[in-house]
Amino acid sequence: MEEKNYYAMPLITMAAVTGFVAGVIGSLMGYLVYYLNFTEISPGIILAPWKGDWKHGWPGILLAVAIYGLVSILPALIYYGTLKKRKSFWWGIFYGVLIFLLVFLVIYPLFPETKSLLAYDFNTILTGICTFILYGVFIGYSISYEYEEFLYLQEVDPKR
């Protein structure tokens, strides 16, 4: 009898894909809230080291979205390695707030176009926190769910 393979990829690969998707969705959401004037910070800020007007058009948006997708693999793998066994969405909220603080208190000096966190208006700060919370919940809930599903399927079919 042939073994059933319930997962087409290992869990760690699924966590990396989750991180990439979270980065793409999160950056697109960032562009949306920037376009709607909820925030002063454009996700295109990641392209600050490059020169040229191209980064303000579609090529810049697509490149920024791809970069955020690739960069987001690391936080997803960190979540996978440390918090995958946590079942509550509160861990995702905590993780999103932690990443927000890391980005705006530690990483922001790398980008000359940014200001310190408290120099932004209330809407920008609140929108940023909410966006990162959604990002953290997406990563956390997706990875924890897949981990629990994997454990359940191993329990049901121990031959795997």
Q: Are 46 and 64 in contact (CB under 8 A)?
A: yes
Tracing tokens 């031959």 back to the chain, one arrives at: 159
Q: How confident is the model at residue 22 (pLDDT cuts 50, 70, 90)?
A: very high
Percent of the chain exceeding pLDDT 90 equals: 71
Measure the CA–CA gap between 93 and 126, rounded to whole angstroms.
14
Measure the CA–CA gap between 58 and 48, rounded to whole angstroms.
15
Span 114-137, mean pLDDT? Answer: 94
pTM of structure: 0.89
Exposure pattern of 15-50 as b/e (b: 16+ CB <10 Å)? bbebbbbbbbbbbebbbebbeeebbbbbbbbbbeee
Span 104-127, mean pLDDT? Answer: 89
Span 136-155, mean pLDDT? Answer: 92
Q: Where are the domains of the chain?
A: 11-151
pLDDT at residue 113 in the model: 77
Per-residue DSSP letter, 40: S
pLDDT at residue 69 in the model: 98
pLDDT at residue 108 in the model: 85
Measure the CA–CA gap between 87 and 94, rounded to whole angstroms.
13
